[in-house]
Amino acid sequence: MKVKHWMTKDPITVFPETLAVEAQKIMKENRIRRLPVVENGKLVGMVTFRNLIEAAPSSGSSLSIHELNYLIMKIKVKDLMKKNVITVSPEDTVIDTIVRGVDKGIGGFPVVDEQGRLVGIITETQIARAMIHLFGTETRKEIICLENVDLQPGTFGKIVTRVEKLGINIISMFSLPRRTTNLMRVYIRIKPGQREEATQELKKAGYEIAD
């Protein structure tokens, strides 16, 4: 599964000279949290809603309201944007993109082609949808998530044994790293209607189950 099949093509963008207040308005109107910044068709930065909020002068400033408004209206995207943005290629896999996001602590990526042109953007929501499709997880109740698993040789086997002794078949199982520790999240997909029984058995075995 490649990024090009899940990304938003031709995303909304702004220019370095775009005023910050205009960028904020664009984000609110389109319900998005990040905007690629382009110049001559090439990606030169990324600005997020958080960047814009943090750029506002403090209410404790000694400046007058008129002075504050003047400063706010003068701020441009180029003054706030993050340069040297980490990007992905349309040909990258969704799995590689997830790993890169976890490693860098990033939720979304601009998608850039071989010529450096911005061709799309992929967010954490789109990545999650791709994962749901990949693992066939049509409904949330089919998934059991084990938190903080110390993944060692044989760990998956122990989990499978615990669940299958109840006569429950595991359809798929995979793990993803957590951002702040070396522990893992392990996701188990089973048929609907069997989650409660499997959950109780795994709790007895000492596993931490996510809500």
Superfamily of domain 3-130: CBS-domain (3.10.580.10)
**Average pLDDT, stretch 89-99?**
87
Residues 170/164, Cβ–Cβ less than 8 Å: yes
pLDDT tens digits for range 139-186: 545 788 899 999 999 999 999 999 999 999 888 888 888 767 788 989
CATH class, domain 139-209, is alpha beta
Coil, strand or helix at 7:
coil
**What is the identity of the amino acid at 39?**
E
| Domain edges within the chain | 3-130, 139-209
Beta bridge partners of 109: 122
Residues 185/146, Cβ–Cβ less than 8 Å: yes
Residues 15/77, Cβ–Cβ less than 8 Å: yes
CA distance 83 to 38: 11
Q: Which of 55-64, 120-129, 149-158 has the highest mean pLDDT?
A: 149-158
Q: Which residue has the higher pLDDT, 57 or 129?
A: 129
- Decide if pLDDT at 39 tops 80: yes
pLDDT at 173: 86
